[in-house]
Amino acid sequence: MQWYVVPCKDIITSEDHLQARREYIRRTTNTNVSKWKLRRVTGLLPIEVYHCVSKDGVNGSFITAHIDDIRVLCNLPAVYKSEFVVTNTCILVERYHKSLLYSMMRRNRGVELFYAKQEVYIDCCNTMIQTALLEEVGQFGFQTSLSERDLYLNRNKGLVKAIRESFERVSPILSL
């Protein structure tokens, strides 16, 4: 499984948080995890991303980033050629997750897309916003989403089954 984290102040706030995330991956997958490598991804909007690999034999990608960076990373062949992609992010634009899935399916018909469980709140302008708030829960040493906490709790079921139970699957069917 490949793991990607885009460094920004509300996702990774310190080197300690990054190393705590690596330890979380090791404990969640129950396998060895490579060290983080900082990579530069070029495109219309170049970004930097930390990348590591868990030696669990799973052909998937797990991305923790803001929604705009998710699209950039899902254009990487290593990501869209995965059997499934997990996006640990907020869905701020209606049907954005469908658009992302369709984009990847043009290159890999079998790819599945999952996203973090969303919480709804009303902002100061009375607008409903869906978000996967990252909250400091203390147990892991870095801010986690509800889906990440569920993934950890379900880890004994196997990584793929735990992901399926902890994240929301994007259906390729478009409903009106």
Whole-number Å distance between alpha carbons of 13 and 40? 19
User: Per-residue confidence at 10, pLDDT binned at 50, 70, 90?
Assistant: confident
The mean pLDDT value for 81-100 works out to 84
Residue 176 has pLDDT above 50, yes or no: no
Whether 82 and 111 have beta carbons less than 8 Å apart is answered as: yes
**pLDDT averaged over every residue in the chain:** 88
pLDDT value of residue 128: 63
Question: Hey, what are 85's tokens?
Answer: 């992609």
Q: pLDDT digits over 12-67, tens only?
A: 878 998 999 999 999 999 999 999 999 999 877 789 999 999 999 999 999 999 88
- Alpha-carbon Rg for the chain in angstroms: 15
Q: Give the dihedral sign, CA 156/161/162/163.
A: positive
pLDDT value of residue 142: 82
The mean pLDDT value for 95-120 works out to 89
Q: CB atoms < 10 A from the CB of 133, how many?
A: 14
Whole-number Å distance between alpha carbons of 53 and 47? 19
pTM for the full predicted model: 0.89
Whole-number Å distance between alpha carbons of 159 and 150? 12
Q: Which residues pair with 110 in a beta bridge?
A: none
Residue 171 has pLDDT above 60, yes or no: yes
pLDDT value of residue 148: 92
Whole-number Å distance between alpha carbons of 73 and 56? 21
Residue 55 CB contacts under 8 Å (≥ 6 apart), including other chains? 31, 32, 33, 34
Whether 151 and 28 have beta carbons less than 8 Å apart is answered as: yes
